[in-house]
């Protein structure tokens, strides 16, 4: 997917043409007083350094450790997360969905690429790609297999298509063998993909490798 959808066409002259057009548009918008380049720099910095899956991982680790926090997270994720994440208020419509032994959740946006930026950062290329957007709703088991996720056949697969401004954060299952771990230690087991539903949290042995 990465090769077909996002890279092959960007090499060579088309890439430089696009780069030039982007630069020209920024020049025009700046000269006309519509944008402040310092504000643009700040937005890029936010995306590169402030938001990211480390925020979601902290939330998941806290939910694994604190049953009261988990209950409040599943009731109203926006409110709970806003009180935990100091950097900025998250989107007002965050919904946490819990994986259990009988149900596995997967998140997609078939119509564009809606993603919980405030807790996971920018979406990866595969999430925005045509293969994922087209197949997650009709062949979620096939997609999960490509990510190396194997579940018992009777496990319900629940796909959430993000067709409005609500955003979904998957609460993965806590791995076995982590009793007594601190929140910081637990957070290291929580991958981005496990919070989208295309992965599981790492096991303690995977963490060592």
Q: Among residues 8, 16, 83, 112, which one is catalytic?
A: 112
Residue 207 binds to another protein (criterion: CB under 8 A) = no
Told to judge if 113 belongs to the known catalytic residues of this protein, a careful annotator would answer yes
The SS3 assignment for 22 reads helix
CA angle 137, 122, 119 (to 5 degrees): 85
Residue 32: alpha-carbon gap to chain centroid: 36
Give the count of residues interacting with another protein (CB under 8 A).
Answer: 91
Pairing of strands 167-171, 156-161: unpaired
- Pick the binder of another protein from 27, 71, 83, 184 (CB under 8 A): 27
User: Residue 178 or 188: which CB sits closer to another protein?
Assistant: 188
Q: Do 81 and 87 form a contact (C-beta atoms < 8 A)?
A: no
Question: Could you give the string, one character per residue 40-59, with x where binding to another protein holds by CB under 8 A and - elsewhere?
Answer: xxxxx-xxx-xxx-------
Told to judge if 78 belongs to the known catalytic residues of this protein, a careful annotator would answer no
> Which of the stretches 24-32, 65-73, 169-177, 178-186 binds another protein when contact is defined by CB under 8 A?
24-32
Distances (CA, A) of 135 to 108, 142, 163: 10, 8, 16
What is the Cα–Cα distance from 171 to 99, expressed in whole angstroms? Answer: 6
Token reading at 66: 């604190």
- Pick the binder of another protein from 111, 150, 185, 207 (CB under 8 A): 111
Told to judge if 205 belongs to the known catalytic residues of this protein, a careful annotator would answer no
Q: Among residues 109, 118, 129, 162, which one is catalytic?
A: 109
The SS3 assignment for 158 reads strand
The footprint of another protein on residues 123-162 (CB under 8 A) is 124-126, 128-138, 140-141, 143, 146-147, 153-162
Catalytic residues: 109, 112-114
């Amino acid at each position: 997917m990465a090769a077909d959808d996002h890279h092959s066409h960007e090499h060579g002259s088309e890439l430089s043409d696009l780069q030039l057009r982007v630069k020209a548009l920024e020049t025009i918008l700046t000269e006309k007083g519509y944008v402040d380049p310092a504000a643009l720099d700040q937005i890029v910095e936010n995306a590169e350094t402030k938001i990211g899956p480390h925020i979601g991982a902290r939330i998941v680790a806290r939910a694994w450790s604190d049953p009261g926090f988990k209950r409040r997270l599943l009731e109203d994720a926006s409110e709970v997360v806003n009180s935990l994440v100091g950097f900025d208020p998250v989107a007002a419509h965050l919904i946490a969905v819990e994986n259990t032994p009988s149900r596995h959740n997967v998140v997609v946006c078939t119509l564009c690429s809606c993603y919980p930026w405030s807790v996971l950062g920018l979406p990866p290329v595969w999430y925005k790609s045509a293969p994922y957007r087209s197949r997650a709703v009709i062949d979620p088991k096939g997609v999960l297999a490509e990510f190396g996720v194997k579940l018992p056949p009777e496990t319900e697969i629940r796909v959430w298509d993000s067709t409005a401004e609500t955003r979904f954060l998957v609460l993965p299952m806590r791995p076995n063998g982590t009793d007594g771990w601190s929140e910081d230690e637990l957070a290291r087991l929580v991958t981005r993909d496990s919070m989208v539903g295309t992965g599981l949290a790492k096991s303690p042995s995977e963490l060592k490798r």
